[in-house]
Structure formats: structure tokens, C-alpha cells
Structure 1
Amino acid sequence: MMKRMGKTVLATAMLFGGVLGQVGAAENGSPAANKPAATAKPSATAKPTAAPVMTDNLAKYGLKKEIDLPVTLTSEGFSYTLHKIMIYDFKSAEVKKLQGLYGFQDSTGIIDRPKYFIWTKVTLENKTKKTMHGGGGDLQGLVRLNFKIGQILDAMWPEKLASKTNSKEALWTYTLKPGEKLTSYVAYAYDSEFDYFVARMFYGKDFVEKYVVSE
């Protein structure tokens, strides 16, 4: 009986000692201790918010928009979209740069001493069944941009690109076959004040207008 009890005590002691050894080994650098603990996967990096695209500086001249650009006017298959309009003092560095690039002059046939240089980004689209030809003066007759009653913007001629048809940098002469469209930049001179801003289309039998800034 005493011998059996001794064996039982000895077995228990060995088992307990083995457990202690395993714990000690884990605490002293065993593979189990070195195994890294599970960590939460890092969350996806948030994408930076894109800066809003600047389509105009009308507020600088006291004009509060009713609608945002772009605006599109369409009549009898001819479509005009105004994407952007920037107003610059005619003597500003921005205007000097554009004059150097494209050959804009200091005046037009109508406006002798412009106060402002108006720089627009537009898309012309021919959805008719005939080819459309024109130039800056023709476009000015088709689509009129107005800031004040009785005052006009006069299209400016980019002398360095005057012989280029469908220029995408500074437009003067354009030719659009049925189904074609063109995005480019058109410049104007202006010498008056700012009360509102409206785009009006005079093409075919329809008359279309959109007020960006109401009267």
C-alpha cells in the first residue's frame, strides 16, 4: 500500500514539474513565446479629399451664382457648353502670359481700352446634319455672354494661332462636321461693370438663355 502511494505521489510530482517546465520554457524564449500575437489588420488608408475644381472667379467681382458651371445651351443641333470663366484685370500678370503665348492684342475693333480680359473654356458640338464653319466673331454672334444691360464682350483674336483651325489652346477658326465636337478656350475683352451673368444662344429659330448670376 505504501509503495503504491509513493508511486502515485511521484507521478503527480513529475506531471506537475513538467507543466512548470513548459511554462518556464514559454517565458524563457520557446517557439511558443516567440510566436507573434495576432494583430488587427490595419484599416485601409483614407483617400485624400480631392480639391474642388475652380470653374470661375465671379465672386471676386461681387457676383453670386444661382447655378454652377458647366452650363449647356442647345438649339437645333448646335450645342455650346461653358465649363469655365475667369475674369482678369487686363494689366495683370495672367493676361501678359496669355498675350505672350497666343498673341492677344491690347484692344479689339470694338473695345479700345479693355478693363478686363475674360478667359473661357468651352465645348462646341455639332449635332446637325451639315458642317459648321466659323470664327471668334461668329461664335460671339451665336452665343452672347453678358454682365450688364447694354454692354458686350468682344472676342479677342489669338494672332499666333489665327491660321490654325480647331485649336484646342486658343480658338478662333473652327470647322465641325456632323457629330464632331471641340473643347477649347475663347478670350474676350470687356470694359464695363458686373451686375449679373447670363449666356444666351441665338441659333436657328430658338432662343435659349441661362442665368448663372441673376439680375
Structure 2
Amino acid sequence: MKKTIVKTVMAASMLFSMVLGQGEGTAVAVAATSATTKAPVMTDNLFKYGLKKDVELPVTVTAGGLSYTLEKIMIYDIKSATAQELIKKYGYGSYGKFLVWTKITIENKGNKTIEVSANDPDPKWMIGVGDGGILDQGMPSIKVREKNSKEALWSYSLKPGQKLSTYQGLFNLGSTFDYLVIWLDVKGKSGQKYIVNREE
């Protein structure tokens, strides 16, 4: 009888330990899952300026063999600490009302070199913000002689198949953002993509 009671108690203890162990394992697994969950990456602050996106970033536009991807766009008041820090770091002129800081990836998917340089100074893309208004590309004087800069783009040259991820500073000389559209004009071919559509 005593042996039976002892066996029963041992079995119950083992069962309790197994259940407890499974619970701990579940708790650890949940904790591990929670620990690896990352906060979403902020790709824009357009809402702060009353702009409602029609598409989420990243946005890619392709024309004439050039693929342009806008990965991140942040608007800063020209007098803000962040804007002034970027202006000082890269040697931009401080003008206009807003500094627009973009993270982009450009890729040459054609069969000829695509560049903006002394040989071909025409810009290949523009970002429109209102009727007749486009963002003005700022010149980073500290990086102006560096071709294909990965920190602050000015001149670049991409051979077929070559890709570049970088940042570009732009300035809004106006006082508002009515919409946001990317225009490409490369080797006689054009393309466009609205991020924020015009209001009807």
C-alpha cells in the first residue's frame, strides 16, 4: 500500500515538473520572441506637414535604364537643429524654408554609363512638391569633389549593372508641400510616380 502511495506521489510530482517545465519553456520562448520584435523603421515624417501618402516607401521609378528608389524622406525646418547639423556637416548652403533629407538607391540597368558630371550635368530626377515647384538639389561643398559619395550625393557615374545607395539633401524654396512626385528624365525616356497625389 505504501509503495503504491509513494509511486503515485512520485508520478504526480514528475507530471507537475513536466507541466511546470513546459510552462517555463513557453515563457522563455515568448520572452525571446518579444525580445527579437523590432520597432518599425520610420521612413518619413510627411504626416507632420499635412501630407497623406498614397503609397508606402520604398518607391521605385525607372526610365532610360536608370532605376531610382526613394527609401526614406525626412522634412526639416531649415532652422531646426537636425537641418543645421546636416548643413554644417556636409557644407550645404542654408537657404529656403525646408531641408529635405532623402535616402536613395540608384542603379544602372541599361547598357551605357549614366552620370551627372562635367560631361553630363543634366539632373536625371526631380521631386515636385507643388504646381511649378520642385526641390532644389543642395551642393554639399565638403563632398562636391567626391564622385559616388555614399554620404551626400553630388556627382555620380554608374556603369551598366552598377548600384549606389546614398543620401541627398534637397531644399524647398517655397513655403508649402502640396503633393510629392518623383520625375525621371534619362536619355530621352521619362517616368514618374506620385507618393502624395494632388488634391482634387
Give deviations 1:112-157, integer Å, cap 9, x for gaps.
xx1000101111111122222215xx78732110110011211111
Give distance in 1, aligned partners of 2:97 and 2:177: 12
Please give the TM-score of this superposition, normalised by the length of structure 1.
0.77
Q: Secondary structure at the match of 1:39?
A: helix
Give distance in 1, aligned partners of 2:166 and 2:122: 15
Is 1:74–2:74 an aligned residue pair?
no
Alignment check: 8 A CA contact 2:116 2:122 kept: no
Alignment check: 8 A CA contact 1:140 1:155 kept: no
Please give the TM-score of this superposition, normalised by the length of structure 2.
0.82
What is the alpha-carbon root mean square deviation over aligned residues?
A: 2.4
The runs of 5 or more residues in structure 1 that have no matched partner are 1-18, 108-113
The match for 1:45 among 30, 38, 54 is 30
1:29-44 correspondence runs (5 A): 32=10, 36-37=14-15, 38-40=17-19, 41=22, 42-43=25-26, 44=29
Residue 183 of structure 1: how far off its partner (Å): 0.5
The match for 1:165 among 132, 136, 147 is 147
Alignment check: 8 A CA contact 1:168 1:183 kept: yes
Q: In percent, how many aligned pairs have the same letter?
A: 43
**Count of aligned pairs between the two proteins:** 184
1 or 2, which has the higher strand percentage? 2
Give deviations 1:45-100, integer Å, cap 9, x for gaps.
25233211111111111111111111111112111111111100001000121123
Q: Rg larger in 1 or in 2?
A: 1
Q: Secondary structure at the match of 1:141?
A: coil
Is 1:207–2:190 an aligned residue pair?
yes
Question: For residue 117 of structure 1, what is the amino acid of its counterpart?
Answer: L
Give distance in 2, aligned partners of 1:213 and 1:134: 27
After the TM superposition, which of the residue ranges 48-57 and 85-94 deviates more from structure 2? 48-57
Instruction: Find the counterpart in structure 2 of residue 88 from structure 1.
Output: 76
Give distance in 1, aligned partners of 2:60 and 2:113: 20
Give deviations 1:139-193, integer Å, cap 9, x for gaps.
8732110110011211111111111111111111212111100000010111221
Instruction: Find the counterpart in structure 1 of residue 110 from structure 2.
Output: 128
